[in-house]
Structure 1
């Protein structure tokens, strides 16, 4: 494929809580509508979590996912990417239930165990819609996201081998690239690889442009030309690091999972607004946007007709 940029949009996630933005999609209907709008705005890949529709708490229930997956699939040709990162309340079996049930073209896969600190967000407000929100954020002070070598092997077998699902390998630090290389060397992961460099999450590598360059240099050394990369910049780092990713030959990720704002002090009204903003930046750089089918070819995906929704 001629060099074109793949836009991923992460619709809701499990990090931000409902009190942080009235525009964060919570219900299956909200998630479906915002995902469809993001695809219509130019996102080729839609990265999806589910939430309890009454409380907004991150939820692993496959039935909740199925309430929006079919709607999105019927309305768009976007690649569906289901999270296996889940939320802090979930073990690895919980985290893969929805993807195992839906057999999507893609699923995310965090490449290591790490501290995952959300508690600094407590300083941003004193009133909350739901009692679980401050407790959830505070609990991250003593939380370790567990994805051991055994957990990764389980996900690769139960999703990749069983369903033909390919992965967005989320690398929050340089060591995660070496873990990915380990699995490639064992033959458990085959190219083309799609690596998501994640910068700016407390517990992972900092959101510094030099860190992004180092991640890319390391990936070049380990994987040569057998990978594509994208960049997730947390919070206010979203657009600057996405722009740098495009400059370095990579792809981009936006969405309310990663950043609630469109500009300083301005909440994004929806996910599509962030997709449109990064498209304007990419257009200004003279770069073309990949269609979903072009993304499928570039990433070696099985096709939307082979999913279970």
Structure 2
């Protein structure tokens, strides 16, 4: 593994499937809006852009091939950023639906969730009074009784289907047990090092945001994977920048973007994901760290290169 400790990879997740259109007028919905958000984030310093798609009219999560086609080529032509496609999609989808874009477009990186879990979004119903679409209410309330299904069979399906594409994975770990699941899959040779471990803090149903939670994740990953992994973190909601600063001081990489938080400070909506990239970049550079370019991120994560994707 490369040992350039001062280079930090910024990932930016520009829309996701957690927040709904009524929560912020700045949340990208259409293909054009997603493309613009991704390009602006890359220009601000994100080496990797993590992508979901949405229905252009309603803003619902959409994993159809047709939903991704309008923006993938546009982003690729405008920036050299690594494009990372979700296989998480939304918890209302089957794993086959979720994996379709990664299988079809053969990206350099795809996300991969490491376990079935409760994924509680329903507390957000208490924070917002008016919703534009009924699906938003049903979607949030439904998270009280449903779970985010990521069985061993599901994970193996995604890994197997993407194996011939040479796609590597942003391995999303919402709890300590997810690190052990990754270690199990690695021991079986189903996934290969170096691992890009994205530790997720602050989702209801996953690990919390206390400094001891962050340290415990890092200690456990170090013990399990040694030099065979790169660690990154994301903090949900108002925890975003605090978690990023903490992890960066521990040698980690960071993820920001409107998928994870709508905010740019107490009570202040972020007007774009690029705003958050600039904010976290200021924190990182204030610690004497350097921001990795897309090509440096490719070298650090051993990616195949943007010329070998299918878009």
Task: State the shift of 1:188 in Å.
Answer: 1.2
1:177 and 2:216 equivalent?
no
Aligned to 1:167: 169
Paired with 1:51 and 1:232, the residues of 2 have a C-alpha distance of: 22
Offset from partner CA, 1:128-157 (integer Å, 9 cap, x none): 111111111000000111110111110101
Aligned to 2:82: 79
Question: Which one of 229, 233, 236 corresponds to residue 234 of structure 1?
Answer: 236
Q: Are the aligned partners of 2:91 and 2:149 in contact in 1 as well (CA < 8 Å)?
A: no
Paired with 2:91 and 2:184, the residues of 1 have a C-alpha distance of: 26
Q: Are the aligned partners of 2:20 and 2:136 in contact in 1 as well (CA < 8 Å)?
A: yes
Deviant stretches of 4+, over 2 Å? none
Task: State the shift of 1:225 in Å.
Answer: 1.0
Q: Are the aligned partners of 2:26 and 2:271 in contact in 1 as well (CA < 8 Å)?
A: yes
Q: What TM-score, normalized by structure 1, do the two folds share?
A: 0.99
Task: State the shift of 1:69 in Å.
Answer: 0.4
Residue 259 of structure 2 aligns to a residue whose secondary structure is coil
Task: State the shift of 1:125 in Å.
Answer: 1.5
Matches within 5 A, 1:254-273: 254-273=256-275
Task: State the shift of 1:88 in Å.
Answer: 2.4
1:68 and 2:86 equivalent?
no
Aligned to 2:18: 15
Q: What TM-score, normalized by structure 2, do the two folds share?
A: 0.98
Paired with 2:103 and 2:14, the residues of 1 have a C-alpha distance of: 20
Matches within 5 A, 1:285-296: 285-296=287-298
1:29 and 2:32 equivalent?
yes
Aligned to 2:98: 95
Task: State the shift of 1:119 in Å.
Answer: 0.1
Instruction: Give the length in aligned residue pairs.
Output: 308
Task: State the shift of 1:162 in Å.
Answer: 2.2
Residue 141 of structure 1 aligns to a residue whose secondary structure is coil
Task: State the shift of 1:89 in Å.
Answer: 2.2
Paired with 2:76 and 2:187, the residues of 1 have a C-alpha distance of: 35
**Unaligned segments of structure 1, at least 5 residues:** none
Task: State the shift of 1:220 in Å.
Answer: 0.8
